């Protein structure tokens, strides 16, 4: 997997936005914000089931964050995922 620096930065930013939201959902029962929920649902369909299960059961774990970043990095080869990442970051007020 040969990612550019801006792709690595985008993956890190997405992980920094999604993982805390998943922790809040698990611990406090707070539902994900609409953009986060839509993006997470899109990724869940494409990530391996085992990784999704681990990420949802232990979102506070550093290993879960690494699995998320690795999985998203693998998916970044598809243009539609790249555009989804850009749109998700833009909707959260982040421009690369």
* Dihedrals phi, psi of 33, to nearest 5 degrees: -60, 155
User: Token match 């930013």: residue?
Assistant: 13
Q: Per-domain residue ranges for the chain?
A: 5-91
Query: Residue 77: pLDDT band by 50, 70, 90 thresholds?
Result: confident
DSSP secondary structure code for residue 67 in this structure: H
Please give the span between the terminal C-alpha atoms of the chain, in angstroms, as a whole number: 21
* Dihedrals phi, psi of 3, to nearest 5 degrees: -100, 145
The alpha carbon dihedral of 72, 91, 45, 66 has a sign of: positive
Q: Helices in the chain by DSSP H: which ranges?
A: 5-28, 34-46, 49-57, 62-75, 79-91
Q: Dump pLDDT digits (tens) for 38-65.
A: 999 999 999 999 999 999 999 999 999 9
Q: What pLDDT shows up at residue 56? A: 93
Q: Dump pLDDT digits (tens) for 2-39.
A: 678 889 999 999 999 999 999 999 999 999 999 999 99
Query: Residue 88: pLDDT band by 50, 70, 90 thresholds?
Result: very high
User: Token match 């998700």: residue?
Assistant: 88
Q: What pLDDT shows up at residue 2? A: 61
Q: What pLDDT shows up at residue 4? A: 84
């Amino acid at each position: 997997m040969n990612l550019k620096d801006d792709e690595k930065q985008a993956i890190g930013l997405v992980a920094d936005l999604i993982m805390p939201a998943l922790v809040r959902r698990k611990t406090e029962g707070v539902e994900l914000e609409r953009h986060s929920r839509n993006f997470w649902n899109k990724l869940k369909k494409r990530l391996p089931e085992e990784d999704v299960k681990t990420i949802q059961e232990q979102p506070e774990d550093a290993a879960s964050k690494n699995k998320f970043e690795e999985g998203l990095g693998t998916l970044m080869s598809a243009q539609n995922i790249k555009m989804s990442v850009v749109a998700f970051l833009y909707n959260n007020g982040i421009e690369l």
